[in-house]
Amino acid sequence: MTYPPLAEMVGQLFIVGFKGCEIDESHPVYADIARRNLGGVILFDRHLASRDSTNNIVGAQQLARLSSDLQSIRAEQLLIAVDQEGGRVNRFRGEFGFPLFPEAAELWKKDSAQTEERAGQLAAMLKKYGINYNLAPVVDLNSNPDNPIIGRFGRSFSADPHRVSAQAAVWIRAHRKAGIVTCLKHFPGHGSAAEDSHTDFVDISKSWHDNELAPYQELINNNQADSIMLGHLFHKDFDPVFPASLSAKTVSFLRKELNFHGPVVTDDLQMRAVTDRYGLQEAVILALQAEVDLILIGNNLQYDSKIFSQIHKMVLDAVDKGRLAVEQIASSWRRVQTLKASLSASERQNPSHREKSV
């Protein structure tokens, strides 16, 4: 395999958010993609840092144009990601004319045909507007219904791991049919926690049960795991030092024990469970040292238009100083390219799903 220059490989290992509902050559994200080979972007419907009620998604025609403009910056495929689970985790608001979708907790009460229908409709909507990466489904178990970010939000399909994996499999098939890759989250399991990793350090050492691994194992065994997101979750038996998102031991467990060889993704590294303890730049280095493949920086909880240019330079400096190995960067780059190649293969197999102007 021929490898591109190091700076281009580094760029591919990041998914970063940006501000605004349109772009041109003066927009910072344009330079991030054109000059630094940014691997992907993540879109939000509102901007939390500035308390703006709108951000990247404000309407059908606008979103289709934004996605097309982003993809046109470079010849290489760009990952355009959203968190579109349905229910309260929804980036496509009804007030902008988008259809609404039920939360996972509602879907499991129906039969799998209902899940397939709704997931198919959701995936078709994403494809129509140029989204190719859905950071879903949640495969956390609803083991603590009072969990402040999973249980209370209805984000889990069920407390039963086999129901979770069965519903997730239907969801994933519908997305693949539309040519969209998905991401299982939040490994090793956020469902039992009593805290929210957006705001707190989350220790699941006492609440976690090994049946929370079952959905991951079943979906990996059935070749239905496109990528897996690591939660900002501390479990002393996985790693006595680092949370899963920064843990080489947790990544090794996924690779060696669960036999997963696709891309491993961090949850948003701007969440306070990480930034309060490590700071963003050190968290990026720790995640890459742990052999995480895709670093997610939402740029939404806090905002900096130069965030990726600074991080990109910092990673290259870390390679020069011996903190990161070129071989490690190359291995992650290969896994990201394999994920992107699956998108291109889907386009060849399903030409009817190619983006249409709106």
pLDDT at 200: 83
- Residues 6+ away with beta carbon under 8 Å from 38: 11, 12, 14, 16, 29, 32, 78, 308
pLDDT-derived band of residue 345, with 50, 70 and 90 as boundaries?
confident
- 24 classed as catalytic: no
pLDDT at 108: 66
- Domains of the chain by start residue, with CATH: 6-350 (3.20.20.300)
- Cα–Cα distance between 30 and 309 in angstroms, integer? 11
Query: What digits encode the pLDDT tens for the residues 102-120?
Result: 899 888 676 678 889 999 9
Q: Cβ of 62: how many Cβ atoms within 10 Å?
A: 16
What residue ranges in 45-161 does DSSP mark as E strands? Answer: 79-82, 133-134
CA-closest candidate to residue 292, choices 236, 227, 239: 227
Catalytic residue, candidates 160, 198, 200, 209 = 198
pLDDT at 109: 72
Percentage above 90 pLDDT, the chain: 87
Length of the chain: 358
pLDDT-derived band of residue 284, with 50, 70 and 90 as boundaries?
very high
Query: What digits encode the pLDDT tens for the residues 194-220?
Result: 888 888 889 999 999 999 999 999 999
CA-closest candidate to residue 298, choices 46, 43, 23, 33: 43
pLDDT-derived band of residue 358, with 50, 70 and 90 as boundaries?
very low
For the four alpha carbons of 84, 89, 92 and 98, in that order, the dihedral sign comes to positive
pLDDT at 209: 97
- Cα–Cα distance between 269 and 253 in angstroms, integer? 21
For the four alpha carbons of 87, 90, 94 and 99, in that order, the dihedral sign comes to negative
Catalytic residue, candidates 226, 239, 267, 268 = 267
- 198 classed as catalytic: yes
Read off the pLDDT of each residue in 278-299 and give the average, rounded to a whole number.
98
Query: What digits encode the pLDDT tens for the residues 325-342?
Result: 999 999 999 999 999 999
Cα–Cα distance list, 296 to 107, 135, 288 (Å)? 28, 11, 12
- Residues 6+ away with beta carbon under 8 Å from 155: 85, 87, 88, 89, 103, 104, 105, 138, 140, 149
pLDDT-derived band of residue 347, with 50, 70 and 90 as boundaries?
low
